[in-house]
Structure formats: C-alpha cells, structure tokens
Amino acid sequence: MGHISRDATAIEARERAARKVKKAKGLAKAKGGRRKKGEAQSKPLTRLERQQSMSLAEMLADLPRVCDCGTKRNSKGHPEHWVGYKLHLDVADGGIPISCILTAASVNDSQVALPLATLSAQRVDNLYDLMDSAYDAQIIIEHSLALGHVPLIDAHTRRGQEKRAFAPHEAQRFKERTTIERVFGRLKEEFGGRMVRVRGPAKVMTSLMFGIIALTADQLVRLVN
C-alpha cells in the first residue's frame, strides 16, 4: 500500500453517558511537607508513554470503551459535542478499511495511534502514514519510523511555536488523506454508521463492523470494475 490515512469519527449512541470517576486526591505530604532541594517531582506516565512498553493486547485492553461525552473540532474549526463512542480507522489507498478500534468518545485520537498502527502493520505493508495535527507527538512519529514508514503529520500549532510546513512533495502526498474523510462519510450515510440503535461497546462495534465489511466489499468491486 502507498498510504495509510488515520483518523477518528464520532459515533452517537442511544444510551446514557457513564458517570465520570472522580480522581483521587493527591497523597498527603510526607513529614516535613516540602520536597528536598534538588529532588525531582515524579509525574505519572501518560497513556501514550505507557504504550511504548506494551504489547498490542495490553494497549487495546487499556483503552476505555464506555459510552461517555466527547468533543471534536469539525472541518471549520468549531467544537462538536456528542454522547457515545469514537471509531478510529486506518484506510488504505482506494478507500479500503484496514483496521478499526472503538473507544469511549472522550479518548484522544493520539492515544489510539500506536495500537492502530501496530494492528495495520500486521495486515499490510505501507509506505506513508498520513495523520492530522491531533497525532503530532514525537512518540507517534518514532513508532511510525520504527515500522519502516514515513510519517506525514500535520503540525500542531503550539504556543510560542511556528507551524511546521510540509515540503512540496510531502504536501502533495498529504492530500491523499481526504480518502478517510470520504470513507467516514460513506459509512455514516450509506452503511448505517449514523443510525446505531444498539447499546454497549460490543454491540455498537458489531453493528459498525457490518457496515465496514459492506463498505469494503463495495470499494473492492469498484476498484476491480
């Protein structure tokens, strides 16, 4: 495969969002109150950092799958809110779905990049990984390179930094990422992705997979003809 386009889309559900578990308050300070001079403050690892030492099965098991509330910016930059799930998808050239993972709506796209890339690498060989700015993280770039791919990721505009620009040939290849937007559109409008009527992550994923299988078959027939 030439390109794998990676992105996620909102899946609205007909069920209530799970209640958020309140985070436990920090542990009481040790006797003496303050840290010793020069003593570093230990920070818990992020999910992306933990995934570096996990197997694929461990990464998948660690991802939340409950129905909850999600927020995602649309193509015009406006935030959209929904209750349900988020479908993460890898799509090859020609609009062929390769791998998909269902998570809670609140899961950030970047947290599914490593398991999704690992899953796709077991199924196809591709040259380029195309992702939007939500995936602009050094760990994701390094993982893509380790798989023998060339990561083309739209730069995230961080405070105090100038946006990184693509080289002309990279910008031309990045245009292929619109493939996944068309696949999401067809999945929702033609193959039931917008009308999920079942409840629970297992049933929701099963319903979506029927649509993905039908969409894949339709795309393959179009390519052959």
Average pLDDT of the segment spanning 185-195:
94
pTM: 0.87
Quote the strand ranges of 3-78, DSSP E.
Answer: 3-12, 68-73
Q: Could you tell me the two tokens for 9?
A: 């889309």
For residue 11, the model assigns a pLDDT of: 95
pLDDT at residue 42 tops 60:
yes
Q: Do 18 and 66 touch, CB atoms closer than 8 A?
A: yes
Q: Point out the least confidently predicted range of 159-173, 179-193, 204-218.
A: 159-173
For residue 24, the model assigns a pLDDT of: 54
Beta bridge partner(s), residue 101: 88
For residue 104, the model assigns a pLDDT of: 96
For residue 57, the model assigns a pLDDT of: 96
Q: Which residue has the higher pLDDT, 31 or 70?
A: 70
Domain 3-14+47-224 CATH class label:
alpha beta
What's CA 39's distance to the chain center, in Å?
Answer: 36
Q: What percent of the chain shows pLDDT beyond 70?
A: 88
For residue 55, the model assigns a pLDDT of: 96
Tell me the pLDDT tens digit for each residue of 67-89.
Answer: 999 988 776 778 889 999 999 99
What's CA 8's distance to the chain center, in Å?
Answer: 5
For residue 157, the model assigns a pLDDT of: 77
DSSP string, 122-134: TT---SEEEE-GG
For residue 34, the model assigns a pLDDT of: 61
Per-residue buried b or exposed e for 136-153, using 16+ beta carbons within 10 Å of the residue's own CB: bbeebbebbeeeebebbb
For residue 35, the model assigns a pLDDT of: 60
pLDDT at residue 103 tops 50:
yes
Tell me the pLDDT tens digit for each residue of 109-153.
Answer: 999 999 999 999 999 999 999 999 999 999 999 999 999 999 999
